Amino acid sequence: MDIETPAALIDEARMAANIDRMQKHLSGLGVRLRPHVKTSKCIEVARRQQEAGAKGITVSTLKEAEQFFAAGFADILYAVCMAPEKLDRALALIRRGCGLTILVDSVTAAQAVVAKGREAAHAFEVMIEIDSDGHRSGVQPEAAELIEIGRVLREGGQHLKGVLTHAGSSYDFDTEEALQKLAEQERALCVRAAERLRAAGMACPEVSVGSTPTALAARNLAGVTEVRAGVYVFFDLVMSNVGVCTPQQVALSVLATVIGHQPEKGWVIVDAGWMAMSRDRGTQRQKIDYGYGAVCDASGGVIDGLFVSGANQEHGIISRRDGAADPGVVQRFPIGTKLRLLPNHACATGAQYPFYLAVSPDGDAAPWQRFQGW
């Protein structure tokens, strides 16, 4: 493969299978899929999700919203609680025709939205974030504050579109039983929050849940209108440890070149360090620690027993998992050998690159731009 390294590769066939799997699963449960495009930050990837049946997109930055809107994606959910100083930027995007929905999880944030709405004579589309697992942000579904947030928005002339939750603690589990239990908890608590708002006289048409593990584990989504998931499009080693994919299904890899050896240590040195792989060590807390990545041959076949055990800025160290010295590494992997490295966290590794190379089944590699920043 005549590609300058390190390079971020997308295996198109694997990605297509991942997209098809999630879309069919959620369509079968009768809900919309609104993919989270923060994983790829790539128009070409999102278009393939849309072509498979996804409805709308989820973003985590306003730059993502602006870039995807410019490319023709109009139904956008900004799934990070709105900072008051960003409301003008969001409003400018809306006034250009974007169907942007924003998020709050406190009375203070809701009041800021109301104040900007009154000042601009505009009714924002707003969702309230619900905490369904104590993982990050959101208001408790039984909290009095939930109803107060809804009232502030309604009385302030804003449109309460619905409730949203993300069971991010799903990354901490690795059994089907545990993931199904959390998926049901995520569903039930978000639906409960919607029911409380409706009982208080407020319309709450949308109930949005999702993470890749809970989306794939869900067996019942009664009361839910849409599911958000992101990393499923590529998968990664964290997801493999969670149990929702195998390393052979990971569609994103880093192509690296062997540049040296330490035979007495059994090391192979490649030109992909933590700048290429990212600093993310998410598998360190899981059942299999992949270091900075799993090792594959140039065609993507996993090489058992090897991993990226260490990384400097531009150097990656590949060694045997059992720690044994392997003087034969020079013969097995001579200088110039190309290897693919699977990432711990696809979002973090993708963020190291200005573009991907999408590799088709026949071996052609096409550049797909991605964007960075906020």
pLDDT, one tens digit per residue, over 190-227 is 999 999 999 999 999 999 999 999 999 999 999 999 99
Residue 152 tokens read as: 């502030």
Cα three-residue angle 98-104-110, rounded to 5 degrees: 100
Per DSSP, the three-state class of 219 is: coil
Of 266, 247, 244, 260, which Cα lies nearest the Cα of 319?
266
**How far apart, in Å, are the Cα atoms of 203 and each of 23, 91, 126, 226, 325?**
28, 23, 12, 17, 65
CATH H-level, domain 12-232: superfamily: Alanine racemase (3.20.20.10)
> Measured between alpha carbons, how far is 96 from 108 in angstroms, rounded to an integer?
27
Do the bridges between strand 267-270 and strand 252-262 make them parallel or antiparallel, or are there none, so unpaired? antiparallel
> Measured between alpha carbons, how far is 11 from 329 in angstroms, rounded to an integer?
27
**E strand or H helix at 185, and its extent?**
helix 176-199
pLDDT, one tens digit per residue, over 245-297 is 999 999 999 999 999 999 999 999 999 999 999 999 999 999 999 999 999 99
Delimit the CATH 2.40.37.20 region(s) of the chain: 247-369
Architecture per CATH, 247-369? Beta Barrel (2.40)
Of 192, 130, 185, 186, which Cα lies nearest the Cα of 163?
130
pTM higher than 0.85, yes or no? yes
The answer to whether the CB of 179 falls within 8 A of the CB of 173 is: yes
pLDDT, one tens digit per residue, over 27-72 is 999 999 999 999 999 999 999 999 999 999 999 999 999 999 999 9
pLDDT, one tens digit per residue, over 295-340 is 999 999 999 999 999 999 999 999 999 988 888 888 999 999 999 9
pLDDT band at residue 1 using 50, 70 and 90 as cut-offs? low
Of 175, 169, 182, which Cα lies nearest the Cα of 219?
182
